Amino acid sequence: MTSRKSRSAATSSATALPEGDLPDHLPRWLEAVNRRMASDLGKQVSKAGEFLEVRGSERRILQMITIEQIRITDLAAAAGMTKQSLGEFVDRLEEAGLVRSSRDPSDGRVRLISRTDRGDAVARATDRAIAAVENRWRQEIGSAAYDAMISALRQLGHTSIPSAQHTDIPQ
């Protein structure tokens, strides 16, 4: 049986595929952009020095809680997670003081989630970090190309959201 350490060493000595040998299709580029966004956001958050202990996945969920209270089932659907997985995730956010949960007075089975003041502050800091990265990208590729990219992604993304026709998603 190969140990984790020896597998890791073997992996690190493997030669990376040359850029030209990778497939030139949308999933490859979406993955690359997603990885770059995560990296650039991490650097921006570090540079700003705000809420460094909050992980990117936690910031993503906090930003999805945009109303006073949201049902955990609705949040799970928006996040593309199962209700059970999101429930465990929300438990961790609650322990960290970023959200609070309560039961719906009209249906005690329903769990309602809202951000705390600290959760609001993390969401605002995340908004600032995203805006800074987006501004750098806009400068890097030009406003017209950036706006076209965002427009195309919105169009494609809306068709994949089952409840998009019932939701006011800002353009």
Q: Please name which of 141, 166, 169, 143 lies closest in space to residue 155, comparing C-alpha atoms.
A: 169
Is a pLDDT exceeding 60 seen at residue 150?
yes
Q: What is the pLDDT of residues 81-95, one digit of tens each?
A: 999 999 999 999 999
CATH class of 52-152: mainly alpha
Query: Which sequence spans correspond to the domains of the chain?
Result: 52-152
- Is the pLDDT score of 163 beyond 70? no
Name the token pair of 169: 């998603």
Q: What are phi and psi of 170, to 5 degrees?
A: -60, 140
Residue 52 is classified by DSSP as: T
pLDDT of residue 50: 85
pLDDT of residue 15: 64
Model confidence at 8, pLDDT cuts 50, 70, 90, reads very low
Nearest to 111 by CA among 73, 78, 156: 73
The pTM for the full model equals 0.75
